[in-house]
Amino acid sequence: MATKKAKKRNKPVLFNSEELHRRMVAKAYSLDPRWFDDVSLREREDFALKYGTKTWNVSPTGNPYSIVVSYPRPDGTVKVYDLDSGEFYWVELKLFTRTRVSGRNEQNNYSLSAVMTDDCRCESEDIEDMIGWESLKEYDAHPQSLVFNKQVKKLVSLPSRLRSS
Protein backbone atom coordinates (compact mmCIF):
# COMPACT_ATOMS: atom_id res chain seq x y z
CA MET A 1 0.00 0.00 0.00
CA ALA A 2 1.35 3.40 -0.99
CA THR A 3 2.00 5.96 1.67
CA LYS A 4 0.55 9.45 1.69
CA LYS A 5 3.97 10.86 0.93
CA ALA A 6 4.29 8.77 -2.25
CA LYS A 7 0.83 9.83 -3.40
CA LYS A 8 1.73 13.50 -3.00
CA ARG A 9 4.89 13.10 -5.10
CA ASN A 10 3.07 11.39 -7.97
CA LYS A 11 0.35 13.98 -8.33
CA PRO A 12 -1.59 13.33 -11.56
CA VAL A 13 -1.35 15.81 -14.42
CA LEU A 14 -4.71 17.42 -15.21
CA PHE A 15 -5.93 18.42 -18.66
CA ASN A 16 -5.88 22.11 -17.87
CA SER A 17 -2.61 22.12 -15.90
CA GLU A 18 0.35 24.37 -16.66
CA GLU A 19 2.66 21.36 -16.56
CA LEU A 20 0.80 19.66 -19.40
CA HIS A 21 0.84 22.91 -21.37
CA ARG A 22 4.63 23.22 -20.92
CA ARG A 23 5.21 19.63 -22.01
CA MET A 24 2.97 19.90 -25.07
CA VAL A 25 4.42 23.21 -26.19
CA ALA A 26 7.96 21.83 -25.90
CA LYS A 27 6.99 18.85 -28.08
CA ALA A 28 5.25 21.12 -30.57
CA TYR A 29 8.41 23.22 -30.93
CA SER A 30 10.49 20.15 -31.66
CA LEU A 31 7.99 18.69 -34.15
CA ASP A 32 7.12 21.82 -36.12
CA PRO A 33 10.01 24.24 -36.71
CA ARG A 34 7.65 26.82 -38.23
CA TRP A 35 5.41 26.88 -35.17
CA PHE A 36 5.43 30.70 -35.26
CA ASP A 37 3.31 30.75 -38.44
CA ASP A 38 0.28 30.51 -36.15
CA VAL A 39 1.28 33.71 -34.33
CA SER A 40 -0.30 36.84 -35.79
CA LEU A 41 1.70 38.72 -38.39
CA ARG A 42 1.41 41.96 -36.40
CA GLU A 43 2.84 40.31 -33.26
CA ARG A 44 5.79 38.85 -35.20
CA GLU A 45 6.45 42.15 -36.95
CA ASP A 46 6.43 44.08 -33.66
CA PHE A 47 8.84 41.58 -32.11
CA ALA A 48 11.19 41.82 -35.11
CA LEU A 49 11.15 45.62 -35.07
CA LYS A 50 11.71 45.84 -31.33
CA TYR A 51 14.40 43.17 -30.93
CA GLY A 52 15.74 42.37 -34.41
CA THR A 53 16.66 45.91 -35.44
CA LYS A 54 19.17 46.40 -32.62
CA THR A 55 22.34 44.82 -31.32
CA TRP A 56 22.28 43.94 -27.64
CA ASN A 57 24.65 43.73 -24.72
CA VAL A 58 23.10 40.58 -23.21
CA SER A 59 25.72 37.92 -23.93
CA PRO A 60 26.92 36.05 -20.82
CA THR A 61 30.50 36.55 -22.05
CA GLY A 62 30.14 40.31 -21.71
CA ASN A 63 30.53 41.00 -25.44
CA PRO A 64 28.33 43.97 -26.39
CA TYR A 65 27.15 42.85 -29.83
CA SER A 66 24.51 40.12 -29.99
CA ILE A 67 21.54 39.72 -32.32
CA VAL A 68 18.24 37.97 -31.68
CA VAL A 69 17.80 34.83 -33.81
CA SER A 70 14.66 33.22 -32.35
CA TYR A 71 11.21 34.03 -31.12
CA PRO A 72 10.54 33.78 -27.37
CA ARG A 73 9.95 30.39 -25.81
CA PRO A 74 7.36 29.66 -23.11
CA ASP A 75 10.04 29.91 -20.43
CA GLY A 76 10.72 33.53 -21.47
CA THR A 77 14.04 32.98 -23.25
CA VAL A 78 15.21 33.88 -26.74
CA LYS A 79 18.25 32.64 -28.63
CA VAL A 80 20.90 35.25 -29.38
CA TYR A 81 24.01 35.06 -31.52
CA ASP A 82 27.09 36.78 -30.12
CA LEU A 83 28.76 38.52 -33.07
CA ASP A 84 32.12 38.75 -31.27
CA SER A 85 32.52 35.19 -29.98
CA GLY A 86 30.43 33.48 -32.67
CA GLU A 87 28.39 31.50 -30.13
CA PHE A 88 24.68 31.10 -29.43
CA TYR A 89 23.14 31.69 -26.01
CA TRP A 90 19.66 31.46 -24.53
CA VAL A 91 18.88 34.71 -22.72
CA GLU A 92 15.81 35.75 -20.74
CA LEU A 93 13.72 38.27 -22.64
CA LYS A 94 13.37 40.44 -19.54
CA LEU A 95 17.11 41.28 -19.81
CA PHE A 96 16.44 43.16 -23.06
CA THR A 97 16.03 46.74 -21.88
CA ARG A 98 16.87 50.09 -23.48
CA THR A 99 20.06 50.26 -21.43
CA ARG A 100 21.23 47.01 -23.05
CA VAL A 101 20.91 48.31 -26.64
CA SER A 102 24.42 48.59 -28.09
CA GLY A 103 23.71 49.68 -31.67
CA ARG A 104 21.82 49.16 -34.92
CA ASN A 105 21.63 45.68 -36.39
CA GLU A 106 22.33 45.12 -40.06
CA GLN A 107 20.77 42.67 -42.48
CA ASN A 108 24.12 41.04 -43.32
CA ASN A 109 24.42 39.86 -39.68
CA TYR A 110 21.67 37.35 -40.46
CA SER A 111 23.73 36.09 -43.41
CA LEU A 112 26.66 34.90 -41.30
CA SER A 113 27.43 31.22 -41.82
CA ALA A 114 26.76 30.23 -38.18
CA VAL A 115 23.31 31.86 -38.27
CA MET A 116 22.54 30.30 -41.66
CA THR A 117 23.27 26.78 -40.39
CA ASP A 118 21.60 27.15 -36.99
CA ASP A 119 18.64 24.96 -36.03
CA CYS A 120 16.57 28.13 -35.49
CA ARG A 121 17.28 29.38 -39.02
CA CYS A 122 13.64 29.49 -40.04
CA GLU A 123 12.95 31.80 -37.08
CA SER A 124 15.89 34.12 -37.75
CA GLU A 125 14.91 34.19 -41.43
CA ASP A 126 11.37 35.19 -40.49
CA ILE A 127 12.66 37.92 -38.16
CA GLU A 128 14.91 39.19 -40.95
CA ASP A 129 11.99 39.21 -43.41
CA MET A 130 9.76 41.16 -41.02
CA ILE A 131 12.19 44.09 -40.99
CA GLY A 132 12.12 46.65 -43.80
CA TRP A 133 15.86 47.24 -43.95
CA GLU A 134 15.70 50.04 -46.53
CA SER A 135 13.03 51.83 -44.47
CA LEU A 136 15.18 51.39 -41.38
CA LYS A 137 18.14 53.05 -43.14
CA GLU A 138 15.85 55.88 -44.18
CA TYR A 139 14.60 56.23 -40.61
CA ASP A 140 18.17 56.41 -39.27
CA ALA A 141 18.96 59.14 -41.80
CA HIS A 142 15.80 61.16 -41.02
CA PRO A 143 14.32 60.10 -37.64
CA GLN A 144 11.92 63.07 -37.57
CA SER A 145 10.26 62.02 -40.83
CA LEU A 146 6.46 62.03 -40.80
CA VAL A 147 6.33 58.89 -42.96
CA PHE A 148 6.85 56.59 -39.94
CA ASN A 149 3.98 56.22 -37.50
CA LYS A 150 4.52 56.64 -33.77
CA GLN A 151 4.44 52.94 -32.96
CA VAL A 152 7.13 52.09 -35.52
CA LYS A 153 9.28 54.98 -34.26
CA LYS A 154 8.92 53.68 -30.72
CA LEU A 155 9.89 50.13 -31.73
CA VAL A 156 12.92 50.91 -33.89
CA SER A 157 14.36 54.00 -32.18
CA LEU A 158 17.74 53.80 -30.53
CA PRO A 159 18.47 55.37 -27.13
CA SER A 160 19.69 58.99 -27.35
CA ARG A 161 23.20 58.05 -26.16
CA LEU A 162 23.61 55.94 -29.33
CA ARG A 163 21.97 58.40 -31.72
CA SER A 164 24.33 61.23 -30.81
CA SER A 165 27.48 59.18 -31.51
Predicted confidence (pLDDT) per residue in 46-90, tens digit: 999 999 999 999 999 889 999 999 999 888 899 999 999 999 999
Query: CA 62 to CA 64: how far, in whole Å?
Result: 6
Residue 150 neighbours by CB distance under 10 Å: 7
- Residue 74: name the closest of 35, 16, 48 by CA: 35
> Higher model confidence: residue 90 or residue 2?
90
Express each pLDDT in 105-128 by its tens digit. Answer: 999 999 999 999 998 899 999 999
- For 139, phi and psi rounded to 5 degrees? -65, -45
Full-model pTM: 0.79
Q: Where are the domains of the chain?
A: 39-163
**Range from 10-24, 65-79, 82-96, 136-150 carrying the lowest mean pLDDT:** 10-24
